[in-house]
Amino acid sequence: MMESVIDLHAHILHGMDDGPATLEQSLAMARLASHAGTKEIVAAVHVSRAWPYQPALAQRRWEELQHLTRDLIRIHRACEVELTGENTDQVLAQPARYAVSGSRYLLVELPDDAELKETGALLMRLIGAGLRPIVVHPELNPELAREPSRLKRWSQAGVLMQVCAGSLAREFGSRAAEAAAMILKRGLAHFVASGGHDLKGRPPRLDAIRLQLIGEYPPEFVELLLEEHPRAVVEDREIEPGPLRAPFLKAHRFQVWR
């Protein structure tokens, strides 16, 4: 069984976006994550039309929070980039500024008004430059959730997917829950993360969803989603592209992995 849980996507830096407003709230979120069993967490900052990126401020907030919580939890810096042509150009000009701890891995969010053919082209630009985009909460995009074949093509090209714990827990409604479960069962999700933004509505904790997943899937699969793959990201190690190959899941009644 896993010795630690790594939350690949949470908004815990204060005053940066729609995450916590104050340092006190930020500290409380980090403590909550630690008490719930998260040993490492990726502190993402939105880079979008609504939330312009402030890299120097984000760096200071990350350093401050890590200093104050150094005995509790390890914090990694990252951006969650709204996938537009302009943002893609900026990422390609300085990829280490946006990627998870300067690695090859980049958290990307699809705009609500995204045209999926254009989105696919932007993802391929990132991959062509040596980056590995991680599409966060694809289950919350209704059009994308209806097209598992598109998700599979993206996955085979090197795109990774991260579903939200809240979606699997039905906190975003039945459609999001069904889409998230479908993505998992087709081997198209490499991570489950909290997507945390606050202390109550979207908290940065994975303990409840870990227990839920262990009740539904083999423990090796749960470890892959919550520890092995997130650790590969923060350590900048390769994750094999394509839908998951998981021989231990062959007995699972929903098994469709190759």
CA pair distance 54, 99, nearest whole angstrom: 14
pLDDT score of 4: 80
pLDDT score of 209: 96
**By mean pLDDT, which of 157-161, 221-225, 245-249 is the weakest?**
245-249
Q: How does DSSP assign 98-121, residue by residue?
A: HSGGGSSEEEEE--TT--HHHHHH
Helix (H, G, I), strand (E, B) or coil at 41: strand
Q: Per-residue pLDDT averaged across 155-175, rounded?
A: 96
CA pair distance 41, 11, nearest whole angstrom: 10
CATH topology of domain 5-249: TIM Barrel (3.20.20)
Where are the chain's structural domains?
Answer: 5-249
pLDDT tops 90 at residue 232: yes
Work out the end-to-end distance of the chain between its first and last CA atoms, rounded to an integer number of angstroms. Answer: 24
pLDDT by residue (tens digit) across 95-147?
999 999 999 999 999 998 889 999 999 999 999 999 999 999 999 998 888 88
pLDDT by residue (tens digit) across 55-68?
999 999 999 999 99
Rounded to two decimals, what is the model's pTM?
Answer: 0.93
pLDDT by residue (tens digit) across 31-51?
999 999 999 999 999 999 999
Q: Per-residue pLDDT averaged across 213-229, rounded?
A: 95
pLDDT score of 142: 87
Assess contact for 257 and 183: CB atoms under 8 A. Answer: no
pLDDT score of 113: 87
